[in-house]
Amino acid sequence: MRIIPRQEIPLKYRNKGVTIPFEPYTFTFTTAPSDATTNAPEITFSDLPSNHWASQAVSVMVQKGILNGYSDGKFRPNDAVKREEFAKIIVLALNLPISKPTTPTFKDINQNYWAYNYVESAKIYLTGYQKADGLYYKGSKNAVR
């Protein structure tokens, strides 16, 4: 993986890589050669046909354990990604160490929350919302570009 300053870079698929724009940087995740991933079982989703524009990238990220679908066999490609889900994607895609601090950084993400460790681990890449009584993450809001 390489991190380069923000610039216009097209998305790339077909075992060449997946480029995700993220302010102020662009992260490029290079995939393994196609023959290296053929041993992994192909995971399909009932709502993500093979001709969908994101099918190839989703497939690679599912095989790498970065993304997963829902228990009903769907991926829901048209649903917005929540900020808490984006934190998890960052941690898994960048292979960041899982952080388990005893004091939360964000007032609205406590230690019992499912995304707590992911939000804390990815916090250097995330933005919060400053209020008079502290910093909030608002994990259930949609992630934005």
Digit-coded pLDDT (tens) for 45-55: 999 999 999 99
Q: Are residues 73 and 101 in the same domain?
A: no
Q: Are residues 64 and 129 in the same domain?
A: no
> Which of 31-35, 61-65, 73-77, 114-118 bottoms out in mean pLDDT, i.e. has the lowest?
31-35
What is residue 43's predicted lDDT score, i.e. its pLDDT? 77
Q: Are residues 75 and 104 in the same domain?
A: no
Tell which wins on pLDDT, 85 or 35. 85
Whether residue 90 lies inside any domain: the answer is: no
Which residue, 26, 45, 79, sits at the end of a domain?
79
Q: What mean pLDDT value characterizes the chain?
A: 80
Beta-carbon count within 10 A of 29 CB: 18
d(CA 53, CA 120): 32
Whether residue 84 lies inside any domain: the answer is: no
Range of the domain at 61: 1-79
* Residue-wise DSSP of 116-140: HHHHHHTGGG---EEETTEEE--TT
Q: Note the helical H segments in 2-124.
A: 34-37, 55-63, 83-94, 116-121
Count the domains in the chain: 2
Digit-coded pLDDT (tens) for 115-135: 999 999 999 999 999 999 999
Whether residue 85 lies inside any domain: the answer is: no
